[in-house]
Amino acid sequence: EKGDERANQIPRYVRVNANVWTMGEAIAHFEAAGFSLTSLPDAFPEPKQFAIDLHIPDLLLFHPSASLTSSPLLTEGKIILQDKASCFPAYILISPVSADQKSARADVGKVVDATAAPGNKTSALSALMGNQGEITAFERDPKRFKTLQIMLKKARCKNVTPLNKDFLSVDPEDDVFEGVTHILLDPSCSGSGIVNRMDYLLEAGEEEPGVDEARLLKLGSFQLKMIKHAMKIKSANRITYSTCSIHKEEDEYVVRDALASEEAAQAGFVLGPRTKVLPSWSRRGLSEGTGLSEDDANCLIRCTPGEDRTNGFFVACFVKATALEQKQVGKRARD
Ligand code: SAM
């Protein structure tokens, strides 16, 4: 089956949880368990090998056959099985300056994860921030909220306050958003990019997989509403939007409409430049037929299932433009 073939092109990714132990300790552990660290991170690891990822710090890759799903490291919160592409949003939100920067940015105030369960990206944010600072994690579904709480406890996140609330129901001027500078927005999507392993399906959200046009448009309008709500939070100056969908209706079209929205114009949100959004990742957003300029499409990240050794994924990063950038954006629009 086609899906399975593509799944075989994806290594088993293991995120080392820096809230619990270090990358050095993890490497020593896997070496003692009989795996050898290959110095060719671009090569697909053989069954008894592992490698350090090229783009994401604290991410290891193993052969897809490496069976880690019953490893005690999982129950101890030392490792999290998280697809590489799913690590992009937190990394782009918190440490976007260069690929080798390991510590959190100095300009991070308070962070909101607007759609958090099961908590893979929340716990990644927590670790990237050195388990310090403040993250507020919203999840509206009560059952998924429980899963989130368990995950945060297991991953020993001390800097996260989970809230069982609908992000859209909270006024952007509510005190809970005071001082929030960074927002991670990973709303429910069709999950059409996920080609392997059930453990990633939970990340797609509560939606049933399925991709007819009417449903995609409905999801797109919900996703746009979420972005516009985030843009209304006055202190926010950086928002990542992500989906595990490969459909333009949930990806480029949503970004196009968000950029053209009243909320973006009022707050001055534009797309963060390619140089600050995982510049070494070569597959970028689509411009053709999407209404986005090539420049804007270049600011976006896409992952094609299998071909990029990840599941299908999409990331956009909105930033509040400085006065100068706003002038240039205005000029570009007029030209
Ligand atoms: N970021 C998560 C991760 O990496 O583990 C996956 C998030 S999943 C794609 C989307 C989640 O958002 C679902 O759990 C869904 O219940 C929740 N959700 C959807 N709409 C919401 C809203 N308006 N407010 C809060 N949570 C919402």
Q: Are residues 111 and 47 located together in one domain of the fold?
A: no
If asked whether residues 26 and 93 sit together in one domain, one would say no
Q: Is 106 exposed, middle or buried (0-12, 13-18, 19+ CB in 10 A)?
A: exposed
Q: Are both 73 and 127 inside the same structural domain?
A: no
Confirm or reject: Cβ of 64 under 6 Å from ligand 1.
Answer: no
> Closest residue (by CA) to atom 6 of ligand 1?
203
Integer Rg of the chain from CA:
19
Kindly report the CATH number assigned to the domain that includes residue 29: 3.30.70.1170
Domain boundary among 80, 105, 131: 80
The reply to whether 186 sits in an annotated binding site is yes
68 and 136 share one domain: no
pLDDT on residue 251: 98
How many angstroms separate the CA atoms of 297 and 279, rounded?
13
Question: Global pTM?
Answer: 0.93
Nearest to 315 by CA among 189, 177, 214: 189
Q: Is 116 in the pocket of ligand 1 (CB under 6 A)?
A: yes
Q: Are 231 and 318 in contact (CB under 8 A)?
A: yes
User: Residue 297 belongs to what H/E stretch?
Assistant: helix 294-298
- Best residue among 112, 115, 189, 310 to mutate for probing ligand 1's pocket (most ligand atoms within 8 Å of CB) is 115
From 56, 80, 104, the end of a domain falls on 80
| d(CA 113, ligand 1 centre) in Å | 9
Query: 37 and 178, same structural domain?
Result: no
pLDDT score, position 67:
79
139 lines ligand 1 (CB under 6 A): yes
**Which CATH number does the domain housing residue 164 bear?**
3.40.50.150
What is d(CA 322, CA 181) in angstroms, rounded to the nearest whole number? 15
Residues 152 and 71 in one domain: no
Q: What DSSP state is assigned to residue 11?
A: -
Q: Which domain covers residue 29, as residue numbers?
A: 2-80
Residue to substitute in 56, 120, 139 for testing ligand 1 pocket (most ligand atoms within 8 angstroms of CB): 139
206 is in an annotated binding site: no
How many structural domains are present in the chain?
2
Which helix (H) or strand (E) is 270 found in, with range?
strand 269-271
The token pair at 261 is 């929205």
Instruction: Pick out the chain residues at pLDDT < 50.
Output: 1-2, 96-104
Distance between start and end Cα atoms, the chain: 49
Predicted confidence at residue 69, as pLDDT, reads 83
Taking the C-alpha atoms of residue 6 and residue 58, their distance in angstroms, rounded to an integer, is: 24
Could you confirm whether 244 is annotated as catalytic? Answer: yes
Tell whether residue 307 is among the known ligand binding residues.
no
Q: What residues pair up with 13 in beta bridges, in sequence order? A: 61
Cβ neighbours of residue 184 under 8 Å, at least 6 residues apart?
A: 89, 90, 93, 111, 112, 113, 114, 121, 122, 125, 239, 240, 242
Span from the CA of 168 to the centroid of ligand 1 (angstroms): 12
Tell which atom from ligand 1 comes closest to the C-alpha of 113.
1
Catalytic residue among 157, 189, 244, 317: 244
Residue ending a domain, choose from 40, 56, 80: 80
